[in-house]
Amino acid sequence: MKKNLFALALIMTIVGVAYAQAPANTGYYYYQTNGKKGAELKTALYQILKNPDVVHYDSLWNAYKISDARPMGDSLIIWDMYSDISRYRIDFPTHKNSIEGVSGFQREHSMPKSWFNPTERNSSGLTYADVKPMYSDIVHVIPTDGTVNNKRSNNAYGEITDSAKVDWQSANGFSKQSKKGGCGTPGWKEYMGANASKIRVFEPNNEYKGDLARIYFYMVTCYEPVAGTWTSDMFDAESEDGYQPFAQWAFDMLMRWAKEDPVSQKEIDRNEAIYQLQGNRNPFVDYPGLEDYIWGSKKEVAFNYGGDTPNEGEPATNCEIILNEKTFGVDWTGNKNMRNYYTRTPLVASQNGIDIILSYGIEGSKLYSDSTHIRLYNKNVLTFRAHKNEITSIEFTIPAKADDKELIPLTGQMEGNTWRGQASEVMFTSTYTSSWPEANANKHIQIAKVKITVASPTGIQSINNHDTQHKGTYTISGRRINDNNLTKGVYIKNGKRLIL
């Protein structure tokens, strides 16, 4: 007899509702993690976070104006996690005032770049060039006072439990450097063995220990395939396992720090800013306690990326969207340079259940919209986000573009001027060939309209079967398929939702 349409529609509803939920208004961003556990969950996160569109290292100065601005009276200063007295104005990256003893703040690799050099691990087959994109990943490259940063050097984080073992400290004892052999973190001396008497550690302030722990969790997740090759006192020298690459003493300390210093509003705001800058997020900020599902007491518990959040509105439908100043509700004449490093306000519109967002990238100084089209400049980001559905194609109408400019999707692929794939959120940048942020600043792609096709949420109409157990595997559009070698996605198998 035929399957009951209501039952299958109910399954589709469950799928849609489950996917609509997410923290921090992240929509479907983490949907691939649903139902995963432990190592499988971490790898699913890696698939989401990998290949961030990091800014050029020289552009971090401007990026900090967005990601690390701290209100101080009527001014904005750099948010320094190593010093509590630094007052570097955010619009002067080469500040001349000596705060802790050196002029200016610096770009601090909280996970030192020398740790990424895998040449000591001969089996890795990697070279120093593989430090990219970690080299300028703003999640872990933080702004700090120059003197404190130089004192930290490339030493591991640790804890100094005996004040007599403090060799140097920043103003007010905010951050500390130990004497050789001065780390008091449980398990450190046993791990270091005879070398313990030769090694220093750097202890950040309690206020930011959780921040730094979550940064470290992000790093070993975003760069899972190579994290096991990193070399440091904080990484297990006897293993190249990318699942949990930390030395046990460091792992225990970081897990403890994450619990003792919970996620703050500062981290939440920084995470959102970084998402706009390089297109990925720190899930350990979005999901406080996520580390327990990967490595801790909940690693045998299936992770639910959702939770109860408000309905996202009308489901996305097939549509054609004109892209011009009226779409975004602005009234511009010609090229409007909206250079505002403090807010970097994007243009946002919604139509047929699809959000359209045109936002600044760090090198893109302009957002352009007139009566006929919008323009995608270097490092600008154009995002299409479907409510309760997934986009399967986007056909662009492009009146003109620079010869060397092409649309670059963060997922799926381009076939001429048409994107094809299946995702609830699709982000586009453009080709960017210059090594200098200022070069080709005026080159762009003009986009007049898009024709969007979405997956059908009610595509399963009637499927013959001889029992009531809904046997077989189907796509969400209702097509029966062989379940051998299924790719990642959402399916209905034997009447139940299956997420790969």
The domain limits of the chain are: 5-21+458-499, 23-294, 319-454
Task: Output the pLDDT for position 360.
Answer: 66
- On whether the CB atoms of residues 293 and 43 are closer than 8 A, the answer is no
- On whether the CB atoms of residues 387 and 312 are closer than 8 A, the answer is yes
Task: Output the pLDDT for position 74.
Answer: 82
Task: Output the pLDDT for position 411.
Answer: 86
Task: Output the pLDDT for position 100.
Answer: 54
For 319-454, give the CATH class: mainly beta
Task: Output the pLDDT for position 291.
Answer: 97
Q: State how far the Cα of 122 lies from the Cα of 92, in Å rounded to an integer.
A: 43
Task: Output the pLDDT for position 488.
Answer: 54
Q: Does 133 sit behind a cis peptide bond, omega within 30 degrees of 0 on the bond before it?
A: yes
Task: Output the pLDDT for position 328.
Answer: 82
Query: For the CA atoms of 301, 306, 308, 314, what is the dihedral angle to 10 degrees?
Result: -160
Q: State how far the Cα of 157 lies from the Cα of 111, in Å rounded to an integer.
A: 9
166-169 and 319-322 strand pairing = unpaired
Return the DSSP state at 79: -
- On whether the CB atoms of residues 474 and 463 are closer than 8 A, the answer is yes
Q: Computed from CA positions of residues 142, 266, 268, 363, in that sequence, does the dihedral angle turn out positive or negative?
A: negative
Task: Sort 435 into a burial class: Cβ within 10 Å, 0-12 / 13-18 / 19+.
Answer: exposed
- On whether the CB atoms of residues 111 and 219 are closer than 8 A, the answer is yes
Q: State how far the Cα of 91 lies from the Cα of 69, in Å rounded to an integer.
A: 10
Task: Output the pLDDT for position 176.
Answer: 98
Backbone φ and ψ of 278, nearest 5°: -125, 5
Q: State how far the Cα of 230 lies from the Cα of 251, in Å rounded to an integer.
A: 15
Closest by CA to 208, choosing from 71, 83, 67, is 83
Q: State how far the Cα of 166 lies from the Cα of 223, in Å rounded to an integer.
A: 33
Query: Is residue 148 classed as helix, strand or coil in its secondary structure?
Result: helix
Task: Output the pLDDT for position 450.
Answer: 97
- On whether the CB atoms of residues 374 and 324 are closer than 8 A, the answer is yes
Closest by CA to 50, choosing from 268, 278, 271, 299, is 278
- On whether the CB atoms of residues 241 and 259 are closer than 8 A, the answer is no
- Conformation bin of residue 469: beta by default, left when phi > 0, alpha when psi is -120 to 50: alpha
Task: Output the pLDDT for position 427.
Answer: 87
Cα 269 to Cα 258, 263, 264, 273, distances in angstroms: 18, 11, 9, 6
What H or E segment, with its residue span, contains residue 277? helix 265-278
Q: State how far the Cα of 248 lies from the Cα of 236, in Å rounded to an integer.
A: 7
Q: State how far the Cα of 189 lies from the Cα of 199, in Å rounded to an integer.
A: 10
Residues 6+ apart with CB under 8 A from 157: 201, 202, 203, 204, 212, 234, 250, 253
Query: For the CA atoms of 149, 150, 154, 157, what is the dihedral angle to 10 degrees?
Result: -50
Residues of the chain with pLDDT > 90: what percent? 48
Low-confidence ranges of the chain (pLDDT < 70): 1-25, 27-28, 92-103, 118-130, 307-313, 331-345, 360-366, 379, 432-442, 457-500
Query: For the CA atoms of 30, 39, 232, 115, what is the dihedral angle to 10 degrees?
Result: -40
Residues 6+ apart with CB under 8 A from 391: 316, 354, 384, 421, 422, 423, 424, 426, 452, 453, 454, 455
Task: Output the pLDDT for position 239.
Answer: 86
- On whether the CB atoms of residues 178 and 198 are closer than 8 A, the answer is no
Task: Output the pLDDT for position 171.
Answer: 94
Spacing of C-alpha 344 from chain mean position: 18
